[in-house]
Amino acid sequence: MTSWVLHVDLDQFLAAVELLRRPELRGRPIVVGGDGDPGKRGVVSTASYEARAHGVRSGLPLRTAARRCPEAVFLPVDRPVYEAASAKVMAALRAYGAIVEVVGWDEAYVAVDADDPEAVAAELRRRVRDATGLDSSVGIGRNRLQAKLATGFGKPGGVFRLTGGNWYDVLGDRPTDALQGIGSKTARRLAALGIDTVRQLAAADPQELAGELGPATGPWLVRLARGEDDTPVSGAPYVARSVSREVTYQRDLDDWDEVRREVVRLARQVSGEVGQRPVVRVVVKVRYVPFTTRTRGHTLDEPATERLEQAAVAALGRFTTRRPVRLLGIRAEFER
């Protein structure tokens, strides 16, 4: 039998959980975000496929979502309900008997040895459906990278296999930011070097890219474009790599003394959730009016469970623009 990695991803997870509670809304555009009031400031956490057809997506301001899809039903985020649903999903996957690595509320990697991975994928989808009523998509690959990317081609509610055999047929002519881990900024840097597609990036000289993008980043990008990934699937309990909190203000914060006080308040909240885990870096997120977001970080001299508040203030000090603020966030990152 061959070793495979399957990436199981719940379809429109938050919206789907809400539809289980409100089946009368099925078929209507659903938007989950904030306290469910599109007249207030907040962002979309997830949107049903019907809402996405109108251009509503995660991270979009609720007010913009309401303009794009005025007939949408807006619902508040209900974290405990989603966590309970996620726990049932992961229990159903573990019951199959394979190694399961949870990577979020709505997704997990499953390592299996099988002659027919599509049959395994169908079985996992059935188990999740029977246990929770939720639909999922499954990506199949020989490694985590391939499986993760394959899922996008299987959505919604399908199965797709992506391996070295069809890697370039599927991805070769796509832009470099089609790859997980490459954002718009890196894609622009690659384009400036004459690298526009996945195929071109895969053919690039790793050492030349190391000179342009860094000794670790350059070769890693080439491996990424070739579909190479040796990260194992781990069955160890999921441990968050960071703790974060953010708040959207219903009025603009014009006074940066008030911004500082709010950063301190958020830092204290995060500190209370960190517990005894050593923090190595603190990141402050600022969203200016109307909707420009910037982040700044402060790395601690040595890992510590204290000094989080001071680190947050230090990170805030790296912001040189003092425009009105509509959102603040704090993220404490742990040792890996």
Domain boundaries, given as residue ranges, for the chain: 2-12+80-161, 14-79, 171-225, 242-334
Q: pLDDT truncated to tens, each residue of the chain (336 aa)?
A: 899 999 999 999 999 999 999 999 999 999 999 999 999 999 999 999 999 999 999 999 999 999 999 999 999 999 999 999 999 999 999 999 999 999 989 999 999 999 999 999 999 999 999 999 999 999 999 999 999 999 999 999 999 999 999 999 999 999 999 999 899 999 999 999 999 999 999 999 999 999 999 999 999 999 999 999 999 999 988 788 899 999 999 999 999 999 999 999 999 999 988 888 899 999 999 999 988 999 999 998 887 767 889 999 999 999 999 999 999 999 999 987
Is residue 335 among the annotated active site residues? no
In CATH, the architecture of 14-79 is 3-Layer(aba) Sandwich (3.40)
Model confidence pLDDT, tens digit, residues 151-183: 999 999 999 999 999 999 999 999 999 999 899
Is-contact 17 86, C-beta < 8 A? no
- CATH number for the domain whose boundaries are 2-12+80-161: 3.30.70.270
Which residue of the set 50, 107, 309, 333 is catalytic?
107
Model confidence pLDDT, tens digit, residues 59-112: 999 999 999 999 999 999 999 999 999 999 999 999 999 999 999 899 999 999
- CATH number for the domain whose boundaries are 242-334: 3.30.1490.100
Is 171-225 in the same CATH topology as 14-79? no
The pLDDT value given to residue 277: 86
CATH 1.10.150.20 at 171-225, yes or no: yes
